[in-house]
């Protein structure tokens, strides 16, 4: 059975991505990162999502917080609140973490090579996160090319494929797809700034996008 | 003054690379990685090299050893010894660490973006390390392209340049260049498997290449 490395953040998109990777016939290694993110509840959500999906393994890799500084998500400045959906799509937001997907995909590539996996799945989405440069297909394609030039597998003719099955889907379609694949959204967190009990703030960009997505999909969000 | 991020491992090549970056007019942030490497003496050499070069800052970033497994340099298998120079250049060696330069350059890109640096220097060399896929110019070019698609700076028209000034130089030329630029090679370590006192083994691939380089340059290696 082919093995895939799947980036699992604990959020809604990566939970659906993990389900898609399994549907595609892969045995999955779920990969999460501890990079000192404010929304640490994500890591326990990631563990719950991975367990529910019966992954081969769930690995939590530390990323030195000194490398991923400079974002409202890692402690610099305030998480924006109360912005409309229309506002969220404009410009590069304060929650952009410099080169985050580049660093995460580099780790995933190293782990894939060691595990003999030829697929890396990432829940990047260019619709809701149009302001994040590293959520664009053009970046993912360039990364795949660089990764295959950096690795033994790439050089020896067993190249890595970077799969972003949600890239062009609106949130409502992601939710519908997840429900079809049996994803339990009650296990996921999307909030950038949850309270100490892990409850979503309901006002950050990510809460706004999630809430609008469930509304457009015509279903109730099982997580409060 | 423009700022450059320079990967400094504590070895000979990166010490010369740091000197070249300074010669090119950059104020330098030296960046080293602690990834559980066997040859940990490198980290103290890196600190000494960085201090001697009067860098702006020397940062040591942790890389989770779980991500960079599968190499003789990180504890899997034995470091090869006693191979001839001719043997060293063939195939991908056991000391290849999966995707190491990819992971390191990804971190350097994140740090460069946060520091407002537009240059990353790496002492990659395609002559002595022809078996390492991630020491080739074709990889570095592809990485640069991916990095610029992942970052704010790249998108906003202030792209990052990945500089590998030693890429095509034989070891003797690197040593000569370093001496011209005042590099103190006594501070550097190249051995893959030094003894607990930090003395080079004299038999691993890296010792063999270093020794042949000093011989070809016609100078004495100041480090024993």
pLDDT tens-place string over residues A187-202: 999 888 888 888 888 8
Q: Residue B79: what pLDDT?
A: 59
d(C-alpha A50, C-alpha A9), whole Å:
10
Q: Residue A104 pLDDT > 90, yes or no?
A: yes
Split at pLDDT 50, 70, 90, the class of A98 is confident
Q: Residue A212 pLDDT > 70, yes or no?
A: yes
Q: Residue B80: what pLDDT?
A: 60
DSSP string, B26-56: -EEEEEEEES--S-THHHHHHHHHHHHTT-S
Nearest to B146 among A107, A146, A155 (CB): A146
- Structural domains of chain B, ranges and CATH numbers in brackets: 3-217 (3.40.50.620)
The stretch B195-216 carries a mean pLDDT of 89
Q: Between chains, do B150 and A70 touch, taking CB under 8 Å as contact?
A: no
Between residues B187 and A200, which one has the greater pLDDT?
Answer: B187
d(C-alpha A114, C-alpha B115), whole Å:
32
Q: How far is B206 from chain A (nearest CA, A)?
A: 20
Q: Which residue has the tokens 């081969």?
A: A56
Q: What is the maximum span of chain A, computed from C-alpha positions, in angstroms?
A: 50
Nearest to A133 among B68, B99, B155 (CB): B155
Vertex B135: Cα angle to B130 and B138 (nearest 5): 100
d(C-alpha A224, C-alpha A203), whole Å:
13
Split at pLDDT 50, 70, 90, the class of B87 is low
d(C-alpha B38, C-alpha B74), whole Å:
6
Split at pLDDT 50, 70, 90, the class of A94 is low
B49 within 8 A of B14, measured Cβ to Cβ = yes
> Mean pLDDT in chain B?
88
Residue of A nearest to B135 (CA): A150
- Contact list, A59 vs chain B (CB under 8 Å): 66
The stretch B82-108 carries a mean pLDDT of 74
Contact residues for B127 (Cβ-Cβ < 8 A; gap 6+): B168, B169, B170, B171
Q: How far is A205 from chain B (nearest CA, A)?
A: 19
Among the listed residues A150, A82, A86, A161, the one whose alpha carbon sits nearest the alpha carbon of residue A117: A161
Question: Could you give the percent of chain B with pLDDT greater than 90?
Answer: 60
Q: Between chains, do B106 and A102 touch, taking CB under 8 Å as contact?
A: yes
A52 within 8 A of A224, measured Cβ to Cβ = no
d(C-alpha B15, C-alpha B51), whole Å:
11
Between A47-56, B119-128, B194-203, the lowest mean confidence (pLDDT) is in B194-203
Q: Residue B22: what pLDDT?
A: 98
Q: Residue B214: what pLDDT?
A: 96
Between residues B132 and A13, which one has the greater pLDDT?
Answer: A13
Handedness of CA B66, B67, B68, B71 (dihedral sign): positive
Contact residues for A50 (Cβ-Cβ < 8 A; gap 6+): A8, A18, A30, A32, A58
- Contact list, B105 vs chain A (CB under 8 Å): 106
Mutate to test the interface with A, among B95, B99, B145 (most CBs of A within 10 A): B99
Q: Residue B101: what pLDDT?
A: 93
Q: How far is A56 from chain B (nearest CA, A)?
A: 16
The stretch B156-183 carries a mean pLDDT of 96
Nearest to B133 among A98, A136, A149 (CB): A149
Question: Could you give the percent of chain A with pLDDT greater than 90?
Answer: 60
A 10 A CB-CB count for A58 gives 19
Residues of B in CB contact (< 8 Å) with A are: 59, 61-64, 66-70, 92, 96, 98-103, 105-107, 109-111, 113-114, 133-134, 136, 138-139, 142-143, 145-147, 149-152, 154-155
Question: Could you give the percent of chain B with pLDDT greater than 70?
Answer: 85
Q: Between chains, do B139 and A150 touch, taking CB under 8 Å as contact?
A: yes
Q: Between chains, do B102 and A106 touch, taking CB under 8 Å as contact?
A: yes
d(C-alpha B7, C-alpha A73), whole Å:
26
- Contact list, B149 vs chain A (CB under 8 Å): 133-134, 136, 138-139, 142-143
Q: Residue B93: what pLDDT?
A: 61
3-state secondary structure at position A100: helix
The two beta strands, A3-7 and A119-121, are parallel
B161 forms bridges with which residues in the sheet?
Answer: B119
| Residues found in chain A | 224
> Mean pLDDT in chain A?
88
Q: What is the maximum span of chain B, computed from C-alpha positions, in angstroms?
A: 50
Tens of pLDDT, residue by residue over A32-86, are 999 877 777 889 999 999 999 999 999 999 988 777 765 555 554 565 666 666 6
Between residues A77 and B132, which one has the greater pLDDT?
Answer: B132
């Amino acid at each position: 059975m082919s093995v895939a490395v799947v980036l699992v953040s604990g959020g809604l998109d990566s939970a659906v991505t993990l389900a898609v990777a399994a549907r595609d016939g892969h045995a999955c290694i779920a990969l999460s990162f501890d990079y000192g993110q404010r929304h640490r509840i994500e890591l326990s959500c990631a563990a719950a999502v991975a367990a529910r999906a019966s992954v081969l393994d769930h690995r939590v890799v530390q990323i030195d917080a000194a490398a991923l500084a400079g974002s409202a998500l890692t402690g610099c400045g305030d998480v924006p609140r109360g912005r409309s959906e229309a506002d969220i799509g404009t410009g590069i937001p304060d929650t952009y973490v410099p080169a985050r997907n580049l660093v995460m995909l580099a780790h995933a590539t190293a782990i894939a090579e060691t595990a003999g996996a030829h697929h890396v799945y990432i829940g990047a989405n260019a619709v809701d996160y149009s302001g994040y440069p590293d959520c664009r297909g053009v970046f993912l394609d360039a990364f795949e090319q660089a990764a295959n030039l950096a690795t033994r597998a790439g050089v020896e003719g067993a190249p890595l494929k970077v799969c972003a099955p949600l890239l062009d889907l609106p949130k409502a379609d992601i939710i519908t797809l997840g429900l079809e694949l049996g994803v339990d959204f009650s296990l996921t967190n999307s909030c950038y700034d949850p309270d100490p009990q892990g409850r979503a703030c309901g006002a950050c960009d990510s809460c706004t996008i999630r809430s609008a997505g469930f509304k457009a999909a015509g279903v109730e969000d099982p997580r409060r």
